């Protein structure tokens, strides 16, 4: 089989997976419908009140608008932002849904959005919108459940890719947090002069929070299950101590 045949087979399997799932398409359709309504209304700049109400800010959560921890994931800055997240959701979420089930996929995605929102409220700055926290949660869940698989087209194991992304997002979150402190304001200005400031306008705290959530979910799913043999051994030890 030639290398091109291998790539073709990989894409055939990928498209076949998308035909077999349902929950992922429901999420994509819902997010797309919300963004289309925003665009029809003139875009985010024409309806800032909606983004202030449903987008996530630290002050909003502290003032009691706890729904923002989930609602921010329904909004996106523009169609490109939506396309990236929907692409990730389709590419990663389909595998998670086939591996687990539709309910588990939806729960993991929603929990990733909430966890990403919590980390942003603690460590991030500014208004946050987008479902990337849920997408990173699904990525970490997949790489934790299937650590030895290869993440096409990258020639690395899923475990290496997942931990690399999580560590990188953790480091970027720490730097981003420091740049928001008054004593490091000069660093922020210097980054702006070099053109690197754009890398710190991304919601790294959200990505890190979602990733931590996905990793924890994966470890929880892989936890040792209680078996009859284990229960019998525990009972035997208790009875031995009671004699």
Report the Cα 7 to chain-centroid distance in Å. Answer: 27
End-to-end CA distance of the chain: 67
Q: What is the mean pLDDT of residues 225-234?
A: 71
CATH number of the domain encompassing residue 230: 1.20.1540.10
Q: Note down the domain range covering 208.
A: 3-242
| pTM of the entire predicted model | 0.83
Averaged pLDDT for residues 197-213: 83
Residue 7 above 50 pLDDT?
no
Question: Tell me: the pLDDT tens digits for 30-43?
Answer: 999 999 999 999 98
Burial of 159 (0-12, 13-18, 19+ CB in 10 A): middle
DSSP string, 138-181: HHHHHHHHSTTSB-TTSSSBHHHHHHHHHHHHHHHHHHHHHHTS
Number of domains composing the chain:
1
* 169 band by pLDDT with thresholds 50, 70 and 90: very high
18 neighbors 27 (Cβ within 8 angstroms) = no
Among candidates 72, 66, 183, 82, which has minimal Cα distance to 126?
72
152, 155, 160, 164 alpha-carbon torsion, rounded to 10°: -80
The count of C-alpha atoms lying within 13 angstroms of the C-alpha of 237, restricted to the half-sphere facing its C-beta, is 6
Give residues with Cβ within 8 angstroms of 56, minimum separation 6.
Answer: 68, 69, 71, 72, 117, 120, 121, 127, 128, 129
- Summarize pLDDT for 99-128 with one digit per residue, the tens: 999 999 999 999 999 999 999 999 988 899
């Amino acid at each position: 089989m030639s290398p091109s045949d291998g790539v073709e087979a990989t894409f055939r399997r990928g498209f076949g997976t998308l035909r077999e799932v349902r929950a992922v398409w429901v999420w994509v359709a819902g997010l797309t419908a919300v963004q289309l309504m925003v665009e029809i209304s003139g875009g985010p700049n024409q309806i800032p009140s909606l983004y202030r109400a449903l987008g996530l800010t630290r002050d909003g959560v502290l003032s009691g608008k706890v729904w923002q921890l989930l609602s921010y994931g329904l909004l996106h800055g523009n169609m490109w932002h939506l396309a990236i997240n929907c692409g990730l959701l389709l590419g990663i979420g389909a595998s998670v849904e086939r591996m687990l089930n539709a309910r588990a996929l939806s729960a993991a995605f929603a929990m990733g959005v909430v966890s990403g929102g919590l980390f942003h409220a603690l460590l991030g700055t500014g208004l946050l919108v987008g479902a990337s926290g849920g997408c990173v949660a699904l990525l970490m869940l997949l790489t934790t459940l299937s650590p030895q698989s290869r993440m096409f087209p990258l020639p690395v194991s899923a475990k290496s890719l997942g931990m690399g992304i999580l560590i990188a997002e953790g480091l970027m979150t720490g730097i981003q947090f420091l740049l928001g402190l008054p004593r490091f304001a000069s660093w922020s200005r210097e980054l702006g002069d070099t053109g690197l400031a754009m890398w710190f306008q991304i919601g790294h705290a959200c990505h890190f929070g979602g990733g931590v959530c996905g990793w924890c979910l994966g470890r929880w799913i892989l936890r040792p299950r209680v078996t009859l043999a284990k229960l019998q051994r525990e009972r035997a030890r208790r009875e031995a101590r009671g004699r």
